[in-house]
A and B are shown apart, each in its own frame.
Chain A
Amino acid sequence: MIIRGGIIYDPTNGIFGEEMDLCIEKGRVVEDAKGEEIDARGLLVMPGGVDAHSHIAGGKVNTGRIMRPDDSRSGVEPRTRVCRPSTGYTVPNCYAIGYRYAKLGYTTAFEAATPIISARHTHEELEEIPIVDKGALTLFGNNWQVMESVRDKDIAKLSAFIAWGLRAARGYGVKIVNPGGGEAWGFGSNVKGIHDTVPNFDITPADIIRGLAQANEMLRLPHSIHLHFNNLGKPGNYATAIETLELLKDIKPSRMRQVVHVAHMQFSAYGGTSWRDFESKAPAIADYMNQNSHATMDMGQLLFGSATTMTADAPLEYSNARLTHNKWSNLDLELEEASGVVPMIYFRKALVNAIQWAIGLELALLTKDSWKVLMTTDHPNGSPFVNYPEVISLLMSKPKRDAEMATLHEQVSKRTVLANVDRELDWGDITVMTRAAPARVLGLEDKGHLGIGADADIAIYDLKPEDVDPSMDYQLVKKAMATTKYTIKSGLIVAKQGEILAVPEGRTYWVDASVPKADMDRLMIDLNEKFEKYYSIRLSNYMVQDAYIPNPAVIKAGLELESGSLVKEVA
């Protein structure tokens, strides 16, 4: 296949809007190819989108569907020759997730939070999501084994446990959510800061975060730790954010990437002492990001309208439910995590929501290096991912932001600086934030760019960058970004002008990390005891079986050792 004459944006390879042909063969970008030709003359061409933080599969998502038949009733689309029916808006069914990502030009999406114990469920859903490649981050921040190894300052055993946990969950990376808070929630409380003591474990969230970061780098995992801060969603929490980032400054990355990725920073960039004097601290966070280079973040942009909040931060969801009087689901998971789900409507007329909306945009616009900021809505917490075109058009157009601001509470321009931010992102920035940077942050070498050998995941938009001024033509930008002219996944045209043409099964990435046998043996003594005494599931039934990963893409990682001492297969 040859894509002729597109205006290519491929920031990883230093290409910003050059007219080029792209050749594809056997699912990859190649020097030269024959066959079908796609006429993309003058059109915007990018690598397929990569969503590094989205809640698309597993217990929480399905709980959202079950408790929200109101949501499933919207977005209903019938079967077609190739498609299963679609339902839902904030909590779409599996099929809709795949189709809608493909129509947006996204070809990869990572589920952001999976407890090991319920990973089988997550993979059952991932398998049903068509088209896109996927993976799932694994939760470690409230796990008893993690907390005990941290308490014992046994980073080698902790590394062994991460390797074991990633294999057990067929997970991709280390996710940490409100570390220590999930354990405290087991008896109905929470931790209030990173130096608070975690009940029953004699450690602090700071210890957990540092320990996991050290182990993550010891294992040379493709992704860094992926952190949902303590105190998320609370006024004044920007201090916790900066304090936590300071904890990790001295840790050396084992690969060419960040040491920590901060999830949905918007929810952690809050000033004020209560919702009454609530204000943006995005400028402080952006300053910090501009002065330091060990962290990346994703926006967690909030948009007005319906959302479903879902997180492993169970105490937060309880607060959300108390605040909104909305329905509340919770699930505590033995020895590992807790989680919650609460439907939410963000109101344009609510001052707090309007400030939250502005904070996400401020973070993206005030952070100078767009490689440090991924565009997300923390689907479906801030808004469903189908609204990415709205976010893109806001980032690219000051007039659009001004028009929106004019409809908001007058206090928004006092409690945020957004009105004074003139920066408008260009197509290069957008390509970085939606493709190139997420792929680099995750450590997916064949994604997010169009160099020779890259996966032939390509989005062609019905928009001529040379004719369109995104600042003024923001409606056109939003429309064009909502539906690709062509989405190509692994060299196959999967969507054309909003119609799904093919539904290949995507691959599932997971990380297989090797550790010294001696550490694994020491770990298994601990784990055997936990499974004998505390788990309600037997060890032999616990791990996700091969049957649940029909199309695996395994990335090897681990400690560099003499070959004889590597553990290839963990029990």
Chain B
Amino acid sequence: MIVHEDVICSFCGCLCDDLTVEVEDNQVKRVKHSCRLGASKLMGHDRIKTPMIRQNGELTEVSYQEAYDKAAEILLRAKHPLLYGWASTVCEAQKKGILLAEEVGGILDSTATVCHGPSVIGIEEKGLAGATLGQVKNRADLLVFWGCNPAEAHPRHTLRYSSNVCGKFTSEGRKCKKVIVVDVRETRTSKNADKFIRLKPGSDYEVISALRMILSGKAEILPDEIGGVSKAELISLVELLKSAKFGALFFGLGVTHSRGRYKNIDNALSLIAELNAQTKFIIQPMRGHYNVAGIGQVAAWETGFPMAIDFSRGMPYFNPGETAACDVLARQDTDAALVIAADPASNFPRSVVEYLAKIPVIQIDPHENPTTFLADVVIPSAVAGIEAEGTAYRMDGMSLRVKKIVESSYPSDEEVVHNIIASVRRLRSNVIVEGGT
């Protein structure tokens, strides 16, 4: 048996790097220190066994090379292919993906589009005042969880980084910290809170605006109730925020995908900037997939833009609302899709999925998911962080190198995309040669 220490969990944006994993006969036997979600991923589950191509309506086993060639043919034949996903894979694969999108004149977008995409747009408007999770651990005496539920979605966040951990200036742990939860319903996270503020659904923008008004001394012109919360309660909340030595606000999809979307984030970022005139305050999005932050970083340094990038002009063009995955699918402005490390069939609006089902779809994934059922080419890959190494960015932007702890006969995502690029180049040069004679 081999015991691997300090293994990095490639499940969620917490990217916990303190797991102990026991491997025997090239199989993960036991995972220690992780949460259940992480352990479940590391222990592994059903895999797509071989590459497949849909023939006469049925997915039929083929060789990897046949699958790469078919994928390349689809991408080359398409006028405006979409290359979507990229969140649950490593940066090395993402880099190749951007090169592939350039070569086939496609659109590259990530799962952030149905997740923290609005946060990114908020940041484009206002910037973001953040801190690494260790800074929060060592200093934060006030934690606000707004529209997020780490107890269930990021189970070790509170224990490793935020409310229930001891640090340099927080040596008493939970006892020396105040926890505020703002949400539309009670959650397991709110049960750990000192103060729970329950909003009416869709009223985040109003409530954030009210907090900003109270902060700037304009409380008297507010109505008595805002978003289901009394003015008095909001005034006491502002006092609490101001009393922090170091406050940290974490937010989730409850804010990014409720009414107002990126405007909610824009408003929240402004609130935090203004709080810094009174005390120290930071804000961070609770990123979901373990490397969804990474695709934003990689895309930004390679193309200048973090998501929704259209290469059909031969150079990057970015205009979310026009060039994001759901936009082009809803407009039927794409005629083939490559889906990697994602499951749009489960997460996209129904009408969009219906269109996706009509166009050729290439799927690259270790696991079967609903997208597999509408895929025309299926290419199984190794699980990064278990069977392949590479770079991932934690929710706070810190990068780590996830490890390979078991051998696998599957190619890594990076190799798969690399091989598709090779097929694209070969097929294209054949076309050019044929065209020239």
* Chain A residues close to B by CB (< 8 Å): 57, 59, 61-62, 65-69, 71-73, 76-79, 84-88, 91-95, 117-118, 120-121, 124-125, 128, 186-188, 200, 318, 321-322, 327-335, 341-342, 533-538, 540-541, 545, 547
Contact = CB atoms under 8 A, between A and B. Distances in A.
A467 B363 CA distance: 63
Given A78-B314, A186-B246, A332 B399 contact: no
B246 A187 contact: yes
Contact of B305 (A84, A87, A124, A534): A87
A124 B391 contact: yes
B106 interface: no
A322 B315 CA distance: 35
A533 B166 CA distance: 8
A66 B127 CA distance: 9
B43 interface: no
8 contacts: A85-B102, A124-B391, A128-B301, A128-B302, A330-B128, A331-B132, A537-B398, A540-B5
B316 A76 contact: yes
A73 B309 CA distance: 12
B273 A321 contact: yes
Interface in B1-56: 5-6, 8, 17-18
A271 to B, nearest CB: 28
Contact of B134 (A65, A188, A537, A547): A537
B313 A94 contact: no
B261 interface: no
Contacts of B91: 124
A293 B401 CA distance: 44
B301 A65 contact: yes
A66 B314 contact: no
B167 to A, nearest CB: 6
B93 interface: no
Nearest to A544: B401
B296 interface: yes
Contact of A125 (B127, B282, B301, B304): B301
Interface stretch (B117-125, B189-197, B351-359, B371-379): B117-125
A334 B135 contact: yes
Contact of A78 (B131, B280, B313): B313
B397 interface: yes
Interface string B171-203: 000000000000000000000000000000000
Contacts of B135: 186, 332-334
Contact of A93 (B130, B245, B304, B314): B304
Nearest to A186: B139
Nearest to B126: A327
A95 B401 contact: no
Contacts of B232: none
A65 B297 CA distance: 9
A66 B125 CA distance: 10
Interface of B: 5-6, 8, 17-18, 91, 95, 99, 102, 120, 123-135, 137-139, 160-161, 166-169, 245-246, 273, 276-277, 279-280, 282, 296-298, 300-306, 311, 313-316, 318, 391, 393, 397-401
A92 B302 CA distance: 9
Q: Please classify the interface of chain B as helix (H, G, I), strand (E, B), loop, or mixed, using the class held by over half of its residues.
A: mixed
Nearest to B314: A78
Nearest to A57: B301
B316 A66 contact: no
A545 B167 contact: no
B35 to A, nearest CB: 16
B245 A66 contact: no
A62 B166 CA distance: 31
Given A72-B303, A187-B245, 18 more contacts: A61-B301, A66-B300, A73-B318, A79-B315, A84-B302, A87-B305, A93-B302, A120-B400, A121-B398, A128-B301, A188-B279, A328-B126, A329-B129, A332-B131, A334-B134, A536-B133, A541-B400, A541-B401
A331 B315 CA distance: 30
The 4 closest A-B pairs by CB, nearest first: A334-B134, A72-B304, A87-B304, A188-B280
A87 B132 contact: no
Given A118-B398, A120-B399, A186 B280 contact: yes
Contact of B120 (A66, A95, A537): A66
B86 to A, nearest CB: 16
Nearest to A91: B304
Contacts of B128: 67, 329-330
Contacts of B298: 124
A67 B302 contact: no
A536 B282 contact: no
A124 B399 contact: yes
Given A78-B313, A120-B401, A540-B6, A62 B133 contact: no
Contact of A66 (B17, B95, B123, B246): B123
A287 B135 CA distance: 42
Given A87-B315, A541-B401, A335 B138 contact: yes
B102 A541 contact: no
A334 B138 contact: yes
A195 to B, nearest CB: 24
B404 to A, nearest CB: 12
Nearest to B120: A66
Contacts of A125: 301
A200 B245 CA distance: 14
Contacts of B125: 327
A117 B398 contact: yes
B168 A87 contact: no
Nearest to B296: A66
Given A78-B313, A188-B280, A545 B318 contact: no
Tell which of B95, B246, B304 has the most Cβ of chain A within 10 Å.
B304
A341 B167 contact: no
A78 B282 CA distance: 38
A120 B397 CA distance: 11
A545 B401 contact: yes
Contacts of B391: 120, 124
B106 to A, nearest CB: 13
A73 B305 CA distance: 9
A534 B134 CA distance: 7
A72 B399 contact: no
Nearest to B279: A188
B397 A331 contact: yes
Contact of B315 (A77, A94, A121, A328): A77
A200 B129 CA distance: 23
B123, B168, B398 — most chain A CB neighbours (10 Å) = B398
A65 B276 CA distance: 24
Contacts of A534: 134, 137-138, 167-168
Contacts of A79: 102, 314-315
B34 to A, nearest CB: 14
Given A328-B273, A331-B130, A335-B134, A94 B280 contact: no
Given A76-B316, A534-B167, A333 B304 contact: no
A330 B315 contact: no
Nearest to B129: A330
A135 B17 CA distance: 28
B306 A66 contact: yes
A536 B129 contact: no
A426 B57 CA distance: 75
Nearest to A187: B280
B132 A333 contact: yes
A258 B91 CA distance: 40
B5 to A, nearest CB: 7
A536 B126 CA distance: 27
A279 B232 CA distance: 49
Contact of B127 (A67, A334, A540): A67
B295 to A, nearest CB: 12
Contacts of B393: 121
A511 B5 CA distance: 29
A78 B160 CA distance: 45
Contacts of A88: 304
Nearest to A120: B399
Contacts of A342: 127
Nearest to A59: B397
